[in-house]
Structure 1
Amino acid sequence: MDEEIRERVEEAAEIDALFNALKHDSDAQVGAIMGPLMGDNPEFREYGDEIAGVVAPVAQRVNDMDAAEKRDRLEELAPGRLEELESDDEEDEHALPDLPNADDYDEVRMRAAPNPNGPWHLGHARMPAVIGTYKERYDGSFIVRFDDTDPETKRPDLAAYDAILEDIDYLGFDPDEVLRASDRLETYYDHARELIEQDGAYTCTCPQEEFSDLKNSGEACPHREKDPEQTREEFEAMIDGEYESGEITLRVKTDITHKNPALRDWVAFRMIDTPHPREEASEYRCWPMLDFQSGIDDHLTGVTHIIRGIDLQDSAKRQQFVYDYFGWDYPEVIHWGHVQVDAYDVSMSTSTIKEKIDAGELDGWEDPRAPTLKSLRRRGIRGEAIVDAMVELGTSTSNVDLSMSAIYANNRELIDDEADRAFFVRDSHAGDDEIGPAVEKPVVGGPDAGQPPVHPNEDRGRRRIPVEDAVLVEAEDVPAEGERVWLKGYGCVRYTGDAFEYTDDDIEVVREGDVEVIHWVPAESAIPTRLRTMEGDVTGHAEPGLADYEPDDMLQFVRVGFVRVDMLPEADDELVAYFAHP
């Protein structure tokens, strides 16, 4: 990052930090700043890994000010933002807006309605993050309903039901109720029968293209005026499986001349020959379309507020026809835009991820290159960090950008105090073939061990790393012959061309900028280590003390980043760790 970009980042970050701190009457949080900063300044995104390091000291400077100083500084830098702050007297401490008409209901009840076709990718986290946050805010209920009534084109994956519930648990939420739509076919049939009795639906055998032509011209199909009794008989035959796929549908009577053709006499049920993968539902052949099934279930489960994509506005309009027939009140609806996530080369699509796994391009849903919640969990990203970043996006109808750096900043705040420091010397660098393997150099003179701190908090003590006869350092850290480097936690050495010779120089040589600080590991007792990253695997050697840690422990590899210990070595095996973020 050049100096001009750094100055622009610092200026924008200070404004956002001041606004954030004053708005919430609390310290500015790096994670909360990162979202709007990257969203408002897309040119910063290519520097995502470096931005948090620039923002953190800016936030600290802001947090050291009192409220009056913050207000004066914001007025100096961005008077318009101060006016925005002062004009919004009704704004409360919540990042999310109030739910519409929430006080009109005895209990706020919201639902997430996943299609169980695979574990969740990162974009899926927004719905449970927001619903779970509203549940806590209003002391309401969080329903998970698996919308699995399409056993053919969106065929459910049997393992996905539990996988999705595990993802919700990872995010920190416990649903109050879990439903599977494929268990509720008889309920949908009963409501279809009632609709038929009201002459609100009819069976249609028009070929799809023929009906489409009639619908688009505002003309009714010849089956629209058939007697409800005939419709009932034909619908019962559909339930009994007497028709083949594509042969007949049940349509809801709406307004055949409606200005929006998509709302004209839409399909409520169709025939599907492919058996459902769940044994309990495998005998059914007459399946409801999502708009019918979802609309019925939202009413029967008492859903008060629905959040859905702005591209699904027609769903509410279709369902309103059914609600009018039954005399029901439609829930409150919030439409929002899509979330676009940076940093991944893999499409944010369950089907695309599955294709890449099947083709061997990814080695499973937990591959660090996969944009899945399982991958983030294995990398050591806390669910809370994801939830906070998603909530900060709000519920705008516009598409929003989520920078991974915002999640990383949140996670850094959660784990930094507990993550011990350790050395990892790389033999390879993901995506950079020009950097060679680690270099082994004898150490002449000096102590027999280094004692770097366990953590910047000196109260945590120091760890002992034996020097033995030689150390490994990264290839680019070897200085020119005759120059000095500081082996972190050990001391100053001069490179003779063949060895590192201990010099006994004081730490002042580092503070004065004359000597670079590098990390190292003992050549003999270092642990072979594989670090799995989004760019590919990195091999190298970690300090021997890592053998004392356990899987799931979080560490910071000095000068590399935060990692999660995944697998300890057995016999001559390597230790495996997953890279979380810088």
Structure 2
Amino acid sequence: MDEDVREQAEEAAEVDALFNALKHDSDAQVGAIMGPLMGQNPEFREYGDEMAGVVAPVVQRVNGMDAAGKRERLEALAPERVEELEAEDEEDDQVLPDLPNVSEYDEVRMRLAPNPNGPWHLGSARMPAVIGTYKEMYDGWMLCRFDDTDPETKRPDLDAYDEIVEAVDYLGFEPDEVIKASDRVDIYYDHARELIDLGGAYTCSCPGEEFSELKNSAEPCPHRDKDTETVHEEFDAMVDGEYDSGEMVLRVKTDIEHKNPALRDFVAFRMIDTPHPREAAADYRCWPMLDFQSGIDDHLTGITHIIRGIDLQDSAKRQAFVYDYFGWEYPEVVHWGHVQIDAYDVPMSTSTIIEQIEAGELTGWDDPRAPTIASLRRRGIRGEAIVDAMVELGTSSSNVDLAMSSIYATNRDLIDEETDRAFFVRSEGPGTDGSVELPVSGGPEEGEPLVHPNHEDRGRRSIPVEDGVVVETADLPAAGERVWLKGYGCVRYEDDELVATGDDLDVVREGDVDVIHWVPAEGPRLRLRTMDGDVTGVAEPGVRDYEVDDLVQFERVGFARLDSVPSRGTDDPAVAYYTHP
């Protein structure tokens, strides 16, 4: 990081730290500063690994000021932030806007409607995060309905049903009921038959292109005025599987001259030859389209409020035709824009992720490079951090951007105090220049860094140096220069070894000597799986004493979740998943 960028980051961090401390009448937290800093200053994101080290001293300096000094300093640096501070209503911490017309309903009832064609990517977390939060706000009811009535184009993945429910649980919510649309096909048939009786549907055997030409010309299909008995007979033949795919559909009769051609006599049921992967649904060949199935289910399950993407506005309009035929009241609808998430090279697309897994480009849904909930979970990121970031985006109809740094910042606040520190020296992989092994002489037989810098009562780690140490090549000083081995002391690099100098910590405080991490030459090997690829190196011996799923912070590298911890005495490497800086 060059000096200009560092200076800009320090100035921005100071403003955010002052604002944060004054707003909450407490010490500013590095994690709370990192999110806004990286989100509002995209030019800093490439320095993500270094930014916490820039921000921490600034936050420490701000926390040393009294309240009056903080306000005076913020007034000097950013008077508009003082005005913002004064204008805020401290008592109102509601992030999400009120749902429309809540008072008209006895209970707020909302639904998640995932398609189980694969586990959830990260963007999918927005729906349970927001709906789950609304459920808590209004003491409401939440349904998880699997919209799995397309066994061909969006073919269900049998494992995804449970994986999605587990993802909802990981995010901190529990549906009041879970149903599968593929279990309810006969219910949709019954409503189709009733709709036919109401004059609201007809069977159509027009080839797709032919009907499209008629629709776009606002001309009625020649089958539109079939008598009800014929429509029933042909629909029953569809249900019995007597037609091939594309041979016959059931259409909802709307306004053939509607200004939006997409709403003219849309398909409610079609034939699909591919059997459903669920055994209980494998015999069906006549399947409802999503707009019909979803609309029926929303009514039957008493849904009062629907949140859906802005691109699905036509769905609400199609369903409104069906509701009008049945005399039903349509639920309240909130349309929101898409969420874009930075930091990933892999698109947030279920089909693309599946393709890359099948091609061997990703090891699975929990590959750290995959923008998925399973990946963040395996990296040790708490569901609460994802929920907070998603809820913060609100329900705007505009497209919104989510910086991963905001998730990292919240997660850092959640885990920092309880996470032990450890050393890991990187030897090979993205972002490292390798490592070097050197003997150490003239000092103690072991280093004793604190288990946690803020909690001396947790004790110290014992790291031997008798067989030499390993340091990262980039940390190795020039011949004759000194470095401070953290938890050990000051050493000078001379004649291909590190010689203890006996200097005290003042040489670090005065800025004359850099502090570096290190590990014993005989330390356990470790593979760190990151978003940029795998990094291998050596860890301190104490890593062997942790359990799978434990978190550690590898000092000057970042937080990590331990995924595999071979017992002492084996040569197998430990495996950890990189969480974030």
Q: TM-score, normalised by structure 2?
A: 0.93
Whole-Å Cα distance in 1 between the matches of residues 412 and 118 of structure 2? 29
1:493 Cα deviation after fit: 1.5
Which of these residues, 440, 443, 451, is aligned with residue 448 of structure 2? Answer: 451
Q: Which residue in the other structure is 2:187 paired with?
A: 187
Whole-Å Cα distance in 2 between the matches of residues 407 and 495 of structure 1? 40
1:173 Cα deviation after fit: 1.0
1:275 aligns with 2:275: yes
Mean Cα deviation higher: 22-31 or 182-191: 22-31
Whole-Å Cα distance in 1 between the matches of residues 185 and 344 of structure 2? 39
1:439 maps to a residue whose letter is V
Task: Indicate conservation of the 8 Å contact 1:340/1:400, yes or no.
Answer: yes
1:102 Cα deviation after fit: 1.5
Q: 1:82 to 1:522 in 2, by over 3 A?
A: closer
1:426 Cα deviation after fit: 1.6
Q: 1:79 to 1:543 in 2, by over 3 A?
A: closer
Task: Indicate conservation of the 8 Å contact 1:495/1:501, yes or no.
Answer: yes
Whole-Å Cα distance in 1 between the matches of residues 63 and 345 of structure 2? 36
1:572 maps to a residue whose letter is D
Q: Which residue in the other structure is 2:295 paired with?
A: 295
Q: Which residue in the other structure is 2:579 paired with?
A: 580
Whole-Å Cα distance in 2 between the matches of residues 222 and 530 of structure 1? 67
Q: Which residue in the other structure is 2:512 paired with?
A: 514
1:459 Cα deviation after fit: 2.1
1:44 Cα deviation after fit: 3.8
1:480 maps to a residue whose letter is A
1:469 Cα deviation after fit: 3.3
Task: Indicate conservation of the 8 Å contact 1:31/1:389, yes or no.
Answer: no
Q: How does 1:6-85 map to 2 (within 5 A)?
A: 6-12=6-12, 37-51=37-51, 54=54
Cα deviations across residues 257-293 of structure 1 (Å, max 9, x unaligned)? 0111111111000000100000000000000000000
Task: Indicate conservation of the 8 Å contact 2:35/2:408, yes or no.
Answer: no
1:578 maps to a residue whose letter is Y
Q: 1:142 to 1:7 in 2, by over 3 A?
A: farther
Root-mean-square deviation over aligned CA pairs:
2.5
Whole-Å Cα distance in 2 between the matches of residues 339 and 483 of structure 1? 50
Whole-Å Cα distance in 2 between the matches of residues 228 and 151 of structure 1? 29
1:211 aligns with 2:225: no
1:484 Cα deviation after fit: 1.5
Whole-Å Cα distance in 2 between the matches of residues 401 and 447 of structure 1? 51
The answer for unaligned runs of 5 or more in structure 2 is none
Whole-Å Cα distance in 1 between the matches of residues 100 and 137 of structure 2? 14
1:420 Cα deviation after fit: 0.6
Task: Indicate conservation of the 8 Å contact 1:450/1:489, yes or no.
Answer: yes
Mean Cα deviation higher: 16-25 or 507-516: 16-25
Whole-Å Cα distance in 2 between the matches of residues 247 and 481 of structure 1? 81
Q: Which residue in the other structure is 1:242 paired with?
A: 242
3-state DSSP of counterpart to 1:340: strand
1:52 Cα deviation after fit: 5.0
Task: Indicate conservation of the 8 Å contact 1:23/1:93, yes or no.
Answer: no
Mean Cα deviation higher: 504-513 or 282-291: 504-513
Mean Cα deviation higher: 514-523 or 189-198: 514-523
Q: Which residue in the other structure is 1:537 paired with?
A: 534
Mean Cα deviation higher: 363-372 or 468-477: 468-477
Q: Which residue in the other structure is 1:496 paired with?
A: 494
Whole-Å Cα distance in 2 between the matches of residues 328 and 506 of structure 1? 79
1:477 maps to a residue whose letter is D
Cα deviations across residues 463-518 of structure 1 (Å, max 9, x unaligned)? 11122231222222222222222111111112222321222111111111112212
Cα deviations across residues 167-188 of structure 1 (Å, max 9, x unaligned)? 1111111111101000000110
Whole-Å Cα distance in 2 between the matches of residues 513 and 83 of structure 1? 38
Q: TM-score, normalised by structure 1?
A: 0.93
Q: Which residue in the other structure is 1:481 paired with?
A: 479
Cα deviations across residues 358-398 of structure 1 (Å, max 9, x unaligned)? 11111111111111111111111111111111111111111
Q: 1:48 to 1:394 in 2, by over 3 A?
A: farther
3-state DSSP of counterpart to 1:427: strand
The answer for unaligned runs of 5 or more in structure 1 is none
Q: 1:11 to 1:305 in 2, by over 3 A?
A: farther
Whole-Å Cα distance in 2 between the matches of residues 85 and 110 of structure 1? 35
Whole-Å Cα distance in 1 between the matches of residues 550 and 294 of structure 2? 42
1:103 Cα deviation after fit: 2.0
1:166 Cα deviation after fit: 1.2
1:6 Cα deviation after fit: 4.2
Q: 1:497 to 1:74 in 2, by over 3 A?
A: closer
1:308 Cα deviation after fit: 0.7
Q: Which residue in the other structure is 2:232 paired with?
A: 232
Q: 1:123 to 1:182 in 2, by over 3 A?
A: same
Task: Indicate conservation of the 8 Å contact 2:524/2:571, yes or no.
Answer: no
Whole-Å Cα distance in 2 between the matches of residues 523 and 305 of structure 1? 61
Task: Indicate conservation of the 8 Å contact 1:52/1:409, yes or no.
Answer: no
Aligned residues: 578
Cα deviations across residues 141-186 of structure 1 (Å, max 9, x unaligned)? 1211100000001100111111111111111111111010000001
Q: How does 1:114-513 map to 2 (within 5 A)?
A: 114-432=114-432, 435-436=433-434, 438-457=435-454, 458-513=456-511
Q: 1:258 to 1:31 in 2, by over 3 A?
A: farther
1:554 maps to a residue whose letter is L
Task: Indicate conservation of the 8 Å contact 1:527/1:544, yes or no.
Answer: yes
1:105 Cα deviation after fit: 1.3
3-state DSSP of counterpart to 2:428: coil
Q: 1:298 to 1:408 in 2, by over 3 A?
A: same
Q: 1:59 to 1:479 in 2, by over 3 A?
A: closer
1:246 Cα deviation after fit: 0.3
Task: Indicate conservation of the 8 Å contact 1:39/1:400, yes or no.
Answer: no
